[in-house]
Structure 1
Amino acid sequence: MKVEVDELHCQGHGLCQMTSPDVFGLREEDGHSYVLPGGADPKHEESARQAAAACPERAIVVTSD
């Protein structure tokens, strides 16, 4: 699985991190999302997809390898 956050579209709403805290973290300086180390583990695929669906900016892309 591959998880990507488009930094140009992320507005720092934090819904992804609230939905999937094992996959996403929030940067302290601007609140924008990033994928945590190990966040792309296939065991997190369902929650990563839920977070992508929750993102109002559609800044998250989850793909299967």
Structure 2
Amino acid sequence: MNVHIDEHKCVASGQCVLVAPDVFDQRDEDGIAFLLDASPSPGKRDEVREAVTVCPAAAIRLEDE
């Protein structure tokens, strides 16, 4: 699994960080999300899929390997 964030779509809600804090974080200056781990381990995949679902801007995209 590869994770991508469209920073232009991100509305800085922080939902991804709440759901998967080992994969996502937010910039201090504007709250825009960024990736801590673009290829999370299998144990984190459910959290990442939930982050995709709860993102209000649909800014997170997954590519399955």
Fold conserved between structures, TM > 0.5 = yes
Name segments (4+ residues, structure 1) moved above 4 Å: none
Structure 1: which amino acid aligns with 2:6? D
Residues 38 and 62 (structure 1), Cα distance of their counterparts in 2 relative to 1, 3 Å cut: closer
Q: How many residues align?
A: 65
Q: Is the 8 A contact 2:27 2:34 kept in 1?
A: yes
Q: Percent of counterpart pairs with the same letter?
A: 35
Residue 30 of structure 2 corresponds to 30
TM-score (norm 1): 0.89
Please provide the CA RMSD for this pair.
1.4
Structure 2, unmatched stretches of 5+, are none
TM-score (norm 2): 0.89
